[in-house]
Chain A
Amino acid sequence: MKSFEYTIKDELGIHARPAGLLAKEAKKYSSVCMIEKGGKSVKLSQLMMLMSLGAKQGDLVKVTAEGEDEDTAIAELEKFFNENL
């Protein structure tokens, strides 16, 4: 399993559009991609659950990927967070 931690910088947090794009991104990989915030953890591909985490600016989240393509997945996801959130 691979993981990284990230502090949300976007003013609105993980709001609708980036959440949608993030879910789309996560679906590209066969690995199971999860996001955890404050003890609650959901699959990245679950758009509504992801939004319901309510990750705001300044919140620390942990992203994990587990599966065959976990190396690529985690690298791409980290890139996505850095660019969009």
Chain B
Amino acid sequence: MQSFQGKSVYKGIVMGPVVVLKKNDYQVKRTRIEDAQGETARVQEAVKRSQEQLQKLYDKALKEVGEASAAIFEVHQMMLEDEDYLEAIQNMIQTEMVNAEYAVAVTGDNFSQMFASMDDDYMKARAADIKDISERLVRNLSGQEDADLSNIDPSIIVADDLSPSETVQMDKEKILAFVTVHGSTNSHTAILARMMNIPALIGVPLDLDELKNGTTAVVDGFTGQVTFEPDEETQAATQKRVQEEKEKLALLQELKGKENVTLDGKKINIYANIGSVGDIGYVLENDAGGIGLFRSEFLYLGRNDFPTEEEQFQAYKQAVQTMAGKKVIIRTLDIGADKQVDYFNLGNEDNPALGYRAIRICLKQPDIFKTQLRALFRAAVYGNLSIMYPMITSVEEVEKIYEIVKEVEIELKAQEIQYRIPEQGIMIETPAAVMVSDRLAELVDFFSIGTNDLTQYTLAIDRQNEKLDDFYNPHHEAILRMIQMVVDNAHKCGKWAGICGELGADLTLTEKFVRMGLDELSVAPSMILKLRKIVREMKVEE
């Protein structure tokens, strides 16, 4: 039994087998072989298995994220059929009498070097694809568990860190918990864990090479500890606590269908934050009153080109129809800063968080923005859709947005396409927007406070910098005063104000937020019933 301490980003407790995701970990040994033919046959067998795995990944991605994003797996399949690549491997085995793993690793390195040295950025990036297929082959040759998560038993995922493109591939039903060596509380892993309602630990000092797949582990999101090979006593204690948690959860389930109303009659809307159409299941399952933040980036990430108006329209339409009349607030494109997309060609910036991102891209490249607005206005016909613009700092920006909205409206009208201009609000996530919120309130229909960025910009703390986690105090009085100011300014103009940042889900602040007069809290779906419980048990008058 061995325990490690990390930092918990989502509470919960679970026991199960681990799956270790390692990157670039093929420390392939060179060994001398006698039977070159047998070794070549092993390669053929591994190629076949790899093809099957890629086909499965392709099918899954096609179903979940669309053809454009799935295409990468098709390309991988084609690369694996490449005769030069396969011949190079075969030649090496025959002429040098080396093991298949070694021949694949070296050939993969050579081919990927060929691309890495090209002067074209796009082609440079293809080096990673060749590495990827070579690693897959080596994994299949050496009988290692494939990191292909579409095909595992429910497991605890242990990794160095996880990227959004990796998590896209995961079958969310099969993940019991996340444990990562790196990552900050605002990393994608953390956000995903909160979304999925599963325990997650970050910053756990593990040696991934020491850890074997299938090892039993207990992940305790309450203490931040992970224990490998727990003894019988620990196992029994864990099972008991898992059971208790289940019962607590069942109690929360009874709150479904009930109102978010305090004992003295004050009501508040509790909505859900989601990142893709696939998450709507969690929204409905947790009885959210609506979607308070629908991050539209999912349409842009993990692909090679801009999503078309039609693709976007279909996704938004599906969302509002599935939510059947409940409010769906879609935030327009928020790319840039920590969310980079190759085909936007944003270039490197010294200060990406203070750089070319979100609404700034939309105002500078109105074609991208207009396509999204057209899709949104068309989808608004099918349900209760609202639009929210991110990263606003001034009245002028909102006025510019409205000019573009007007242009889009004129186009749609001229083309006799059905549309509706829905409710339009803005994110309040810069100190500047807070300071001029009295004037902004006159222009827009609502405010939604993005506390993550607001805290980052107010406290001058980089969210991506793990070293600063200790300084990141979201309860800072400056933040709370800003929230109050925003709420008051909204109400003066008869508009509503909510929170859609992580702070909205902070259960220690829920009562305070209700008393401050917030009209809406939008949180991860898994937090909705927990918030409802607090609201229903409190009184506004202390």
Contacts and interface: CB of A to CB of B under 8 A. Distances in A.
Contact of B120 (A13, A17, A49): A13
A16 B83 contact: no
Interface residues of B, number: 23
B84 interface: yes
Contacts of B122: 12-13, 15
A48 B75 contact: no
Contacts of A45: 83
Nearest to B129: A16
Nearest to A46: B84
6 contacts: A12-B304, A13-B120, A20-B75, A46-B82, A48-B114, A52-B118
A59 to B, nearest CB: 11
Nearest to B81: A47
Among B111, B126, B130, which residue has the most Cβ atoms of chain A within 10 A? B126
A49 B123 contact: no
A48 B85 contact: yes
Interface residues on A, range: 10 to 19
Interface of B is mostly: helix
Given A17-B75, A20-B74, A20-B75, A51 B81 contact: no
B123 A54 contact: yes
Interface of A: 12-13, 15-17, 20, 23-24, 45-49, 51-52, 54, 56
Given A17-B71, A20-B78, A24-B78, A48 B120 contact: no
A51 B84 contact: no
Pick the 6 closest A-B CB pairs, nearest first. A20-B78, A16-B75, A47-B82, A48-B82, A20-B75, A54-B120
Interface in B91-138: 111, 114-115, 118-120, 122-123, 126, 129-130
B315 interface: no
Contacts of B120: 13, 54, 56
A74 B119 CA distance: 30
Nearest to A12: B122
Nearest to B343: A12
Interface string B60-101: 000000000001101100110111110000000000000000
Contacts of B129: 16
Interface of B: 71-72, 74-75, 78-79, 81-85, 111, 114-115, 118-120, 122-123, 126, 129-130, 304
Given A12-B304, A17-B304, A51 B126 contact: yes
A48 B304 contact: no
B111 A48 contact: yes
A54 B75 CA distance: 16
A48 B79 contact: yes
Contacts of A52: 114-115, 118, 123
Contact of B84 (A15, A20, A49, A54): A49
Question: Which of B78, B85, B304 is the most central at the interface, judged by chain A CB atoms within 10 Å of its CB?
Answer: B78
Given A12-B122, A16-B126, 7 more contacts: A17-B304, A20-B75, A20-B79, A23-B82, A45-B83, A52-B118, A54-B120
Nearest to B111: A48
Contacts of B75: 16-17, 20
Contacts of B71: 17
B539 to A, nearest CB: 60
A23 to B, nearest CB: 6
Contacts of A47: 78-79, 81-82
Nearest to B68: A17
